[in-house]
Structure 1
Amino acid sequence: MRPLLPATGLVLAGALLFTVLAVSAPPDPVPAAAGGPAGETLQERLQRLPGDYHGWALLGSQYVDQARVTGDPSYYVKAEGALARAARLDPRDDTRDDTVLTGRAALAAGRHEFADAAELAEQAIDVNPYNAAAHGVLADARTQLGDLPAAERAVDTMLRLRPGVAAFARASYAAELRGDQEQARTFLEYAHDDAHTPADLAYTRHYLGELALHQGDLDTADRWYTQALEAQPAYTPALAGRASVAALDGRLTEALTLYERVVQRLPLPQYLIEQGETRLKAGLPADWTLLRAQRTLLEEAGVRDDLTWAEFEADHGDPARAVRHARAEHARNPNLVAADALAWALFKAGRPEAALHHAKQATSTGWRNPLIHHHRATIERALGRTPRTTPTTGHDTRTTSATGFDPDLPALARPS
C-alpha cells in the first residue's frame, strides 16, 4: 500500500498507505543547525545547546523519518523521547508550539494512530496556519481516516504554501485515489521536475514506476525503477519494484534473488509477505519467521498495524483472526484499503454477502487498484454475479492466482 507521505518528514502511502510502514516521500527540508557553526549537525548543536527545545522537536521529527527509511521501529521510541524533552524545555505551553505539535502528529501517524495525528496536526495549524508540514501530516491522516475531501483540502493548502516534491506527491496520490490516473501522473511529473536531490529523484521515479505497474505496463515500470536506482542505488523501494515486475512477469528465480536483497536491506512486513508469496508461486515453502519477529518489534515500538495482519491471516493463516484484525483496523481507520481488507477477510471466512458491502466501499471512489477490484470480482463471482473487469487491464480477474501474481494480469499487486 502506498505509504504515508511525509509531513515533517513523514509521508503518505504505500500501500503502506496508503501505507502502512513502507516508504514515504522524501522529508521536507529540516534546517539541522540554523545559526550554528558551518557544517554543524543537529545532534552537535544539541550537545552545545542542550536547552534548545526547537532543536529537540526537529530531532524528534528526524527520528520519525529514520524509522520510515530504515524500517527500524525503535526510532519511534527515540522520537517520543526527543519530543517529550522538547515539550519539557519549551518556556511556553507546549500545546502552543507548532513545531512540537507537528512532530507529535508525525509520530502518531507513524504509529498508525491517525485520529490522534489529525488532531495534533490541526492544533499545529491553529497555532501557525502557514506550517506546510502540518498540512502534510493532516492530509496523510485524513486519507487514512477515509476522509478524502478533507485530505484534498489539506493537500491544496500545502500546494499553495510550499509547492514541491512532498506536496506534488500528495496531490498525485489524491488524484490516484479518485481514479484520475492522468492527473496523478502529471503531479508526479511536476514532482520529478522539481526533484534535485538523489533521494527526491529516486522517490518520484519509483512512484512513476508504481503508476505504470498498476496499469500493467511492466516495461515502463521497470525502466522507472531502474532510473530510481541510478539516482540512489540504496533506494530499496525501487529494488522491490523491480522484484515485483520480475514476479508478475513470471521470472520467479530473478524475483526471489531481488527480494532477498530487498529484505536484507529493509525487512518491512510488506516486502517479507511479497517474498513469501513469490516463493509459494515458485513451488517453494514460505518462511514467515522474520515477519513474525518484525510484528513483535513493531508492537513493542507502539505501532498498531492490524491492516497487515488482517491481509496476512486472510491469505496465509486464520480467516477468523483476519476478520478481527480487519474490523479493528476499519473501526479506527475506515479508508479504502481497510475496507478491502475487511471484505477479503470476511470472504475468506465464508461470509461473501457481508464481504460485498465492504468491497463496494473499497471500490467506491474510482481508484484503479487492480487488487481491490480482483477481490470484489471474486466475491461477486462467489455470489453468482457477473464479475466486474479490472479498470486498468480490462481483463476478467477469474484467472488470477491466490497470491495475486498472474502473467495475464501483471498489474495485480498489493495496494501501494
Structure 2
Amino acid sequence: AAYLERAGQLAWERGDRQDALRRFREAVRVDPDQWAAQAGQGRALAALGRTTEALGAYRAALARQPRPEYALELGELYESLGLERAAEVQYGVVRERVRVAAAHGGDESLVLGRFEADHGDAAGAVRRLREVWERQPSTEAADALGWALHRAGEHEEALPFAVRATEGTEGGGVRSASYVFHRGMIERSLERYGSARRHLKEALQINPWFSPLWVPRAKTALARLGEPSVQAGPEPA
C-alpha cells in the first residue's frame, strides 16, 4: 500500500490524474488505513472535476488521520469553489492540528508556515520558516520560505530560495509544478517577465491541475504577461 501510494504521488506530480487515482484507490483497497492515499484520491478527483467525490475522500482521510496538510488542501478546494465559510472551518482545523501536534512534541512548522503565507500572517510565516530553514535546510523549506517572503513583499530576497527549490545546480531540482509556479510569480513581481512567463508555462505543463486554488491564478498571471513583443526587444531574464 505504501508503494502504491508513492506511485500515485509520482503520477500526480507528472500530471497524470487518472493513473494517480488508480494507484491511490489500489493503495486504499490493499490497506484501508492508508490515509495519505485517501487524501491523494481527493486531490486526483478534484483535478478530474469530480468535486463531490473529492470532498468525500478528503473528509474520510481527515476523519481517521486529521493531518493539517489534508485540512489545508480541503480548505483550498472549498475556497476554489467559492465556499468561504467551509474553507475557514478547515483553516481552523489546520491551526488546531498544529497546536495538538506541538503539545505532543510534533513539529508542523513547515505546514503552518505554508498556511500562514497564503491565508494568514505572511510576516509571521517568514519568521517561522526562517527557523525551519536554519534548523533543517531542504528543498521544501527553500520553496516555502521563498514563497512566504514573496507574499510578505520581499521579492528580491525570495528569489534565491525559489531558485534553490527549482534548480538542480542549487541543490533542489525537484520537478514540482507548485515550486515552479512560485518561482514564476516571484519573477513576475520583479519584472523578470521572460523568466516568469517561462516558469509559469512550465508549471502548467508539469501538472495542469496542481492546485484548484492556484492553477487559475497561474493562468491569469500568464495571460496578463501575454507573448513577448518582437518590437520591444529582449525582455529581462
TM range (shorter): 0.7 to 0.9
Alignment-mate amino acid for residue 394 of structure 1: Q
Matches within 5 A, 1:83-98: none
Whole-Å Cα distance in 2 between the matches of residues 382 and 221 of structure 1? Answer: 33
Give 3-state SS (helix, strand or coil) of 1:334's partner: coil
Whole-Å Cα distance in 2 between the matches of residues 255 and 214 of structure 1? Answer: 18
Equivalent position to 2:163, from 360, 367, 375: 360
1:403 aligns with 2:213: yes
State the TM-score, normalizing by the size of structure 2: 0.80
Whole-Å Cα distance in 1 between the matches of residues 36 and 211 of structure 2? Answer: 24
Identity among equivalent positions (%) equals 36
Equivalent position to 2:17, from 218, 242, 245: 218
Give 3-state SS (helix, strand or coil) of 1:342's partner: helix
Q: 1:240 to 1:395 in 2, by over 3 A?
A: closer
**Alpha carbons 1:216, 1:393 under 8 Å: kept:** no
Give 3-state SS (helix, strand or coil) of 2:66's partner: coil
Equivalent position to 2:151, from 345, 348, 356: 348
**Higher Rg:** 1
1:317 aligns with 2:120: yes
Residue-pair matches, total? 206
Q: 1:257 to 1:396 in 2, by over 3 A?
A: closer
Task: Identify the residue that residue 374 of structure 1 maps to in structure 2.
Answer: 181
Matches within 5 A, 1:32-43: none
Contiguous gaps of at least 5 residues in structure 1: 1-201, 410-416
Contiguous gaps of at least 5 residues in structure 2: 220-237
Whole-Å Cα distance in 1 between the matches of residues 137 and 94 of structure 2? Answer: 25
Q: 1:393 to 1:279 in 2, by over 3 A?
A: closer
**Alpha carbons 2:25, 2:37 under 8 Å: kept:** yes
**Dislocated runs of 4+, deviation >6 Å:** 399-402
Task: Identify the residue that residue 232 of structure 2 maps to in structure 1.
Answer: none
How far did residue 396 of structure 1 move? 10
How far did residue 238 of structure 1 move? 1.1
After superposition, give the CA deviation of every residue in 1:367-393 in whole Å (9 maximum; x if it has no partner).
111111110011111111122336575
How far did residue 308 of structure 1 move? 1.1
Alignment-mate amino acid for residue 364 of structure 1: E
After superposition, give the CA deviation of every residue in 1:43-74 in whole Å (9 maximum; x if it has no partner).
xxxxxxxxxxxxxxxxxxxxxxxxxxxxxxxx
After superposition, give the CA deviation of every residue in 1:90-121 in whole Å (9 maximum; x if it has no partner).
xxxxxxxxxxxxxxxxxxxxxxxxxxxxxxxx
Task: Identify the residue that residue 291 of structure 1 maps to in structure 2.
Answer: 94
Q: 1:402 to 1:346 in 2, by over 3 A?
A: farther
Whole-Å Cα distance in 2 between the matches of residues 350 and 371 of structure 1? Answer: 19
Give 3-state SS (helix, strand or coil) of 1:394's partner: helix
Whole-Å Cα distance in 2 between the matches of residues 359 and 226 of structure 1? Answer: 33
Matches within 5 A, 1:102-181: none
How far did residue 404 of structure 1 move? 3.2
**Alpha carbons 2:155, 2:190 under 8 Å: kept:** yes
How far did residue 239 of structure 1 move? 1.1
State the TM-score, normalizing by the size of structure 1: 0.46
Give 3-state SS (helix, strand or coil) of 2:44's partner: helix
The structure with more helix, counted as a fraction of residues: 2
Q: 1:349 to 1:316 in 2, by over 3 A?
A: same
How far did residue 400 of structure 1 move? 8.1
Give 3-state SS (helix, strand or coil) of 1:302's partner: coil
Whole-Å Cα distance in 2 between the matches of residues 298 and 259 of structure 1? Answer: 20
Task: Identify the residue that residue 303 of structure 1 maps to in structure 2.
Answer: 106
Equivalent position to 2:53, from 254, 258, 262: 254
Give 3-state SS (helix, strand or coil) of 2:205's partner: coil
Matches within 5 A, 1:378-397: 378-385=185-192, 386=194, 387=196, 388-389=198-199, 394=205
**Alpha carbons 1:236, 1:262 under 8 Å: kept:** yes
Whole-Å Cα distance in 2 between the matches of residues 264 and 277 of structure 1? Answer: 18
Q: 1:354 to 1:392 in 2, by over 3 A?
A: closer
Q: 1:205 to 1:396 in 2, by over 3 A?
A: closer
**Alpha carbons 2:5, 2:24 under 8 Å: kept:** yes
Whole-Å Cα distance in 2 between the matches of residues 234 and 220 of structure 1? Answer: 21
Equivalent position to 2:130, from 311, 327, 336: 327
- Mean alpha-carbon deviation: is it higher for 297-306 or for 329-338? 297-306
Give 3-state SS (helix, strand or coil) of 1:384's partner: coil
Root-mean-square deviation (CA, aligned residues, Å) is: 2.4
Equivalent position to 2:30, from 205, 210, 231: 231
